[in-house]
Each structure stands twice: as structure tokens, then as C-alpha cells.
Amino acid sequence: MRISIFGLGYVGAVCAGCLSARGHEVVGVDVSQTKIDLINNGKSPIVEPGLEELLQQGVKTGRLRGTTDVAGAVLETQVSFICVGTPSKKNGDLSLDYIEGVCREIGFALRDKAERHTVVVRSTVLPGTVKDVVIPIIEDCSGKKAGVDFGVAVNPEFLRESTAIKDYDFPPMTVIGELDSASGDLLETLYRELDAPVIRKPIEVAEMIKYTCNVWHAAKVTFANEIGNIAKAVGVDGREVMDVVCQDHKLNLSKYYMRPGFAFGGSCLPKDVRALNYRATSLDVESPLIGSLMRSNAGQVQKAFDIIAGHDKRKVALLGLSFKAGTDDLRESPLVELAEMLIGKGFDLSIFDRNVEYARVHGANKDYIESKIPHVSSLLDSNFDAVIDKADIIVLGNRDELFAPLAQKAPAGKQVIDLVGFMPKATHGNAEGICW
């Protein structure tokens, strides 16, 4: 494939070397003549193990060259990768000056090109940037229509400095955000030989995936550091602790907990978060990430309440009261907290939970239900259909499969609010998700 790469910094130079090594014809474009001269002499403009050898090979075989001629690069290639920097502004926002400049130049070059061209953004940009900034600029400067006259895609990179070539050759996944299927098809051909899944999503999803991965990495480093600091203060080597934690791929490194939805609860997580945070405070060990967990969790309960209250309807059916399906455990259930907020604000609330209903009559939690939350348990109704029929708003509170059909097709005239992820797609019509 004939590829032009705009921006020969870290990402652009690595991509140029790796793509040319895989047999593609690559034209590197940069405003810096120094970088262009380095590339054309088989020298690396950055320090990265193994990159210079790839660049030398590319130049020697004639598959790689550098230029400052934007128009020529666009006209000679099928696809352009935008790899320019997106530095931070003082307020934390991204500066899109380089992105905007490159898009203008590519757009003007496309005016004179009859062959379909695909523009791929590899630079890290916030969700909405491609549709709100990139596409309008290219359309305005080219006089052409995105998705019709030229293709657009996002292809976030997951390259780590010092291991970038290995990361390129052995990625955990390849993410393609596509405006049109033809652009996605073209990009996928570049990655078919890699032993990794190719994941195709809408453009905004791909943009968000990149940020989510990076912030998650930052959160993991911060979490490990805070655990290490607390461990040291109590005479434990935090490295031993985290080494064992990372060996659990079933829960600790899985998607079981890593899905958006409602707040956590139960007899373990809230208690243990508070206890560890208390111990850290008593030892004068700062742990702001761990210290923020309960506050963030409470915010998710408030968010659910705000969504319900925002519909200006008073009759609410809460499906599920235990903190998760398949249990009657109400200890620190965020659904109990949500129910109490609704009661306190005067909502006409009915609750269905077959496990809690059983426990109220037979289970070990009978005393807890009668003594701790009688005002909530008095609203339990064992007639599922009756609870649904009299409600204007139906809240899916836990993952009892009995509730799933309501997310697939909301009853006529009723608003469904999904806190757990039953909905097959994002908020639409009279079905709304808490995080989707």
C-alpha cells in the first residue's frame, strides 16, 4: 500500500519504519527539514531501540523517503496517517494547532486528487475531535464530502517508548474507528498479518478507547504506589503484595468489575475500602486515589437518583434491592440507599426482589430487614406484574435475568432506567442507561 505519514515524531517515525519493513511504500512528511534529512539518510529522529535499522532498510530498499511536500505526498499515496503532536494547554485541554494545520494542507491537496483517499488520525485526540474539527476542515478545504469522496478513520496507537517496535509487531489489539466501512476495510488490510484482534468501532468510541487505556494505566500506577506506601508503613513489602494481586487473572485483571454501571456495595468492598483508608490516614500516609473511592461511589447513587428525578414522574418500580442478583444480602446495598433517597423525596415507590422477599419470610436476613430497613422492606411486593403495571418509571437495579426483557423492549408508556447494562444499545426512546 502507498502510505503518507504526517509528523515524524515518536509515533510517526516508528510507524514509518514498521510499515516500510512490512513492504509498504511510505512517504514521511514533516515541516522540519532536519527530520526529513535524517529519515532520507536512514537515521532516526528519535531514540528508540531497533528503529534506525528499520529506517535504514526502508531507505535502502526505496520503500521509505521523507519530504516537506504535502501535496505531492497526498497525491502519490492512498492513505494518510496524521501523527502530529497534541500538546497540553495550560488549562489541561489539548492544543489542536498541529492537527488543524495538517488537515488544512491535506484538504487543499485533495482538491486536485481524483482517486479516493483515506485520512487516518493516529494522534491522540479527545472524543468528538475528528467529527467536530478534522472532518469540517478537510471538507471545507477540499470541497469534498467525508465518507463519500474521501475516507476518514481513527487508529489509536498503543506504543510504549523503548519497546515501540515490539508493541507494533505484537499488539494486544488493533482498534479502528471508522466513519465509513470502506475506510475500515482499507485499514484492516494493514493489520491482518498481526496476531491480534482487529476491533472496528465508530470514530468516537475509538477516540475514547485511547484515553480510557491511558488513564487506566495512570490509575494502576497510582493505585500500586498508594498500596506500596501503606504496605511499607505497616512493615510489608508492597512489591510482594502487588505481584500476587497481578497473578489473579480471573477477577483482578478481568472485565468482571470493569464495566460501567451502578455503585458497588455488599459486606466487603465498602467496609474494606473504608478500613484501609482509615489505616492509611492513621499512619499519615497520603492515598488520595483510595480515599476518593467511597465519594465517587456515592456520586454514582446520586447520579441514578438524578436520572429518575429528571423524568418528572412519581411512580417508580425498583427491580432489585440486594446489591447484586442471586443473593439476599442487603448490607450496604446501594439500591437500599437509592430507595431511601426516593422515599425521602416523596416518590411513590414499589420494590420487587424475589431473593429479598424470600429472606423476609425465611432467610437469615429477616431480622436485618425488619429492624434496619422496615420503611424500605414495607414497600416490597411479591407480584412482579403488579409492580410493573402501576409504575411510570421502571428501574433495573441488579442483574436478575427476570428483568432483562424490559431493557430489550420497554413497556408502552413507561420509562426504563437501566443501572446494570441489560440494554443492547445506548440510551434511546424510553430506555435510558446510567452510563450509556
Q: Per residue in 90-110, pLDDT tens?
A: 999 999 999 999 999 999 999
User: Taking a C-beta distance cutoff of 8 angstroms, is the pair 48, 165 a contact?
Assistant: yes
pTM of the model: 0.87
Residue 363 confidence (pLDDT): 62
383: pLDDT confidence band, cut at 50, 70 and 90?
very high
DSSP of 397-424, one letter per residue? -S--GGGHHHHHSPPTT-EEEESSS--S
pLDDT confidence bin for 362, thresholds 50/70/90: low
Strands 2-6 vs 79-82: parallel, antiparallel or unpaired:
parallel
Q: In the structure, what pLDDT confidence band is assigned to residue 426 with cuts at 50, 70 and 90? A: confident
Cell 441488579 belongs to 398
Q: Which residues are annotated as a binding site?
A: 10-11, 30, 35, 86, 124, 161, 210, 214, 217, 225, 256-257, 259, 262, 265, 271, 324, 331
Burial label for 137, CB within 10 Å (0-12, 13-18, 19+), is buried
Q: Please, which residues have CB within 8 angstroms of residue 335's CB and are 6 or more apart in sequence?
A: 262, 265, 318, 320, 321, 322, 323, 397, 398
If you average pLDDT over every residue of the chain, what do you get? 94
- Of 221-235, 238-252, 318-332, the one with minimum mean pLDDT is 318-332
- Looking at residue 359, what is its pLDDT? 63
Q: Buried (b) or exposed (e) across 330-353, using 16+ Cβ within 10 A?
A: bbbbbbbbbbebbeeeebebbbbb
Non-local (6+) Cβ contacts of 406 within 8 A are 319, 388, 394, 396, 416, 422
Long-range contacts of 255-258 (CB under 8 A, 24+ apart): none
Alpha carbons 272 and 292: distance in angstroms, whole number: 14
Kindly report the backbone phi and psi dihedral angles of residue 313, in degrees, each rounded to the nearest multiple of 5, phi listed first. Answer: -130, 150
In the predicted model, is pLDDT for residue 264 greater than 90? yes
122-143 pLDDT tens trace: 999 999 999 999 999 999 999 9
pLDDT at 427: 86
CA-based nearest residue to 320, from 406, 390, 258: 406
Task: Catalogue the active-site residues.
Answer: 268
What gap in Å lies between CA 420 and CA 280, rounded to an integer? 32
Most confident listed range (143-157, 240-254, 317-331, 344-358): 143-157
